[in-house]
Amino acid sequence: MKAVSFSPGNHCNLKLQKYPIKQPTLANPIHFDNHQNQKPSNKKHHFPSFSIKASKTPQTPLTKYPNTPPLVVVGSANADIYVEIDRLPEEGETISAKTGQTLAGGKGANQAACGAKLSYPTYFVGQVGEDAHGKLITEALKNGGVNLDCVRNLSDVPTGHTVVMLQPDGQNSIIIVGGANMSCWPEKLSDEDLEVVRKAGVVLLQREIPDLVNIQVAKAAKSAGVPVILDAGGMDAPMPPELLNVVDIFSPNESELARLTCMSTESFEQIGQAVVKCHKMGVKQVLVKLGAKGSALFIEGEKPIKQTIISAARVLDTTGAGDTFTAAFAVALVEGKTKEECMRFAAAAASLCVQVKGAIPSMPDRTSVLHLLQTV
């Protein structure tokens, strides 16, 4: 946080860009029954109850504030520069990559793309540069049906980007350059940005943007009774207590949980002990992503809810799996599903994600997720 300047004097030129929304036309649009104006609740709805009806009517663009309270993702947008390698280079070593390509990504953009791909109204709040990478990202989100009314263009700062080193087993190592994600955010967010947060059904945050921004967003959401899910992925820095105190669900993976609590997370018992420390830090629900071991939701005072993975036919790229899981969980939550159903829906979405290369290109559609759930 100390390395980031938020003062108005940082000479960034901001432009709030209006992007027309291009909704994908589905052969079998999915119609959801009885969840208009619905906030997350404990009312039980089974995923198979969703009906798939053939329709020749094209999907209509999102309105400013649809009757269904939207998923609002506030976070990062990166150009992901993929290089496929046989192994990671040793210190001082130069190796050749098999292939290389640049795709739209970033944890915030990934989660927004996933929400829209799952046929849920989704807004993205973030910043990109006025460059080729910014155009790549906004076009990918726009074409996926994400509302970009709250995306800022920065003329003097490059779009954030990452280098993703992808190995044959699908595992990856990632280096992040913050760019517009970490620069030129106002000290105080505008009422327009916070208005969409207050009208959300659920808000998703990550740590690839300044904590100062996340804190303002989370407080605005909490004041409006909107649940907030914070993905721990992003900066390697202590978690501000002020942020955890206004988050409803905190979602780290094993390594992030270990780093933030300074505790071992090698066994499930150790993970539980680390989660207790999170509870003491102020967050009541901790959703831990456990990779090949599945996931677990720890609610203070209750027995943990475990979810095994839904096996993938093949694993090509795990880059967007965590973001897919978190976004799918959020979509199921805002639609009123039980926590167990949310985790199962998220596991199915993540299983489909790892079978396709790239982050945003790998996000599954709702029809595919529901079909997988019906076959396992």
Which residues are annotated as catalytic?
A: 323
**Residue 16 Ramachandran class (φ > 0 left, ψ -120 to 50 alpha, else beta):** beta
Kindly report the backbone phi and psi dihedral angles of residue 334, in degrees, each rounded to the nearest multiple of 5, phi listed first.
Answer: -70, -20
Does 294 appear as a known binding residue? yes
The helix-helix angle for 211-223 and 191-198 (nearest 10°) equals 50
245 a known binding residue? no
Interatomic CA distance for residues 346 and 10, integer angstroms: 40
Dist. CA 344–CA 340, nearest whole Å:
6
Residue with tokens 């969409």: 196
Phi, psi dihedrals of residue 83, rounded to the nearest 5°: -130, 125
Q: Say if residue 246 carries a ligand binding annotation.
A: no
Known binder of ligand: residue 292?
yes
- 172 annotated to bind ligand: no
Question: Does 156 belong to an annotated binding site?
Answer: no
Say if residue 303 carries a ligand binding annotation: no
160 annotated ligand binder: no
Whether residue 348 is annotated as binding a ligand: the answer is: no
* Residue 12 assigned ligand-binding role: no
358 labelled ligand-binding: yes
How would you label 336-350 residue by residue, b for 16+ Cβ within 10 Å and e otherwise? bbbbebbbbbbbbbb
Please name every residue paired with 123 in a beta bridge, in sequence order, or none if there are none: 72, 147
- 67 is known to lie in a ligand binding site: no
Do strands 71-74 and 78-84 pair parallel, antiparallel, or not at all (unpaired)? unpaired
Point out the annotated binding site.
78-80, 106-110, 208, 253, 289-294, 317, 319, 322-323, 353, 356, 358, 362
Point out the annotated binding site for K(+).
317, 319, 353, 356, 358, 362
Point out the annotated binding site for substrate.
78-80, 106-110, 208, 323
